Amino acid sequence: MQILNWLPPHAQQIRYIAPLYEEDNEGDRYCYNEDEATSVWYDIIKQVHKTKRPMYYRRRTTELARRDKYQYQLSVYNENNWKNDWTKSIHVRVKVIGKRVLFLYDEEFVHKNWIANKKKRELKDKIRELKEQKFKSYSKKILKVGDTVPSELDMDKLDELIGEWTENSEALNEGR
């Protein structure tokens, strides 16, 4: 087959058994084949990171393969976001080749994504700080002659309201 030319020659094929779920009378879902189902995180991703040998499995459709690729690549990204040192992160890249989901050991790819994510986080923190400074300056405007001077309680309440507003607006922006 032509598609096998795209796989690394030393890649190991894994038999993938999908988890199957049932629902009980109370509406709770549980996996009834936990013993047989493939735990991709421990059986594949951790093994690829440890042995540096690529592994792959085959799904029934390309849509399932793409879904798995995004799911597992996102879980690797999320795990690596908690690491302060990129050398301690998981150096696994997930690819789709036809109906196959391929897991590769790729330090360079993970390093680039780790740096980009750290810069993105620093930029978000800078923007948040600038917004906070901007709204603090609004609350301390110079009063004109004839205006009543607000009390310290009013200023504290105003600062609380501005803080709540910035948190809510950040939460809405992240949800987009």
Measured between alpha carbons, how far is 53 from 156 in angstroms, rounded to an integer?
59
Q: Quick one: pLDDT at residue 157? A: 77
Domain that includes residue 149, residue range? 113-175
Cα maximum dimension of the chain: 86
pLDDT at 146: 55
Report the alpha-carbon distance of residue 163 to residue 112 in Å, rounded: 34
Q: Are residues 143 and 82 in the same domain?
A: no
> Do residues 8 and 82 both lie within one domain?
yes
Residue located via tokens 């009378």: 25
pLDDT at position 56 is 94
In this prediction, residue 95 carries a pLDDT of: 94
Q: Do 90 and 124 belong to one domain?
A: no
98 and 119 together in one domain:
no
CB 131 within 8 A of CB 166: yes
Of the residues 84, 105, 126, which one is the last residue of a structural domain?
A: 105
| Residue 65: strand, helix, or coil | helix
Averages of pLDDT over each 10 residues, the chain, 176 residues: 78 89 86 87 92 93 94 91 83 93 92 89 89 71 55 71 80 68
Please list the alpha-helical segments (H only) found in 19-106. Answer: 46-51, 62-81
Query: Of 80, 105, 130, which one is at a domain's C-terminal end?
Result: 105
| 3-class DSSP assignment, residue 13 | strand
Residues 94 and 124 in one domain: no
Nearest Cα neighbor of 117 from 79, 152, 148 is 79
Same domain, 140 and 72: no
Q: What is the pLDDT of residue 76?
A: 92
* Last residue of one domain, picked from the residues 105, 138, 154: 105
Give the chain's domain count: 2
- 11 and 97 inside one domain: yes
pLDDT at 94: 95
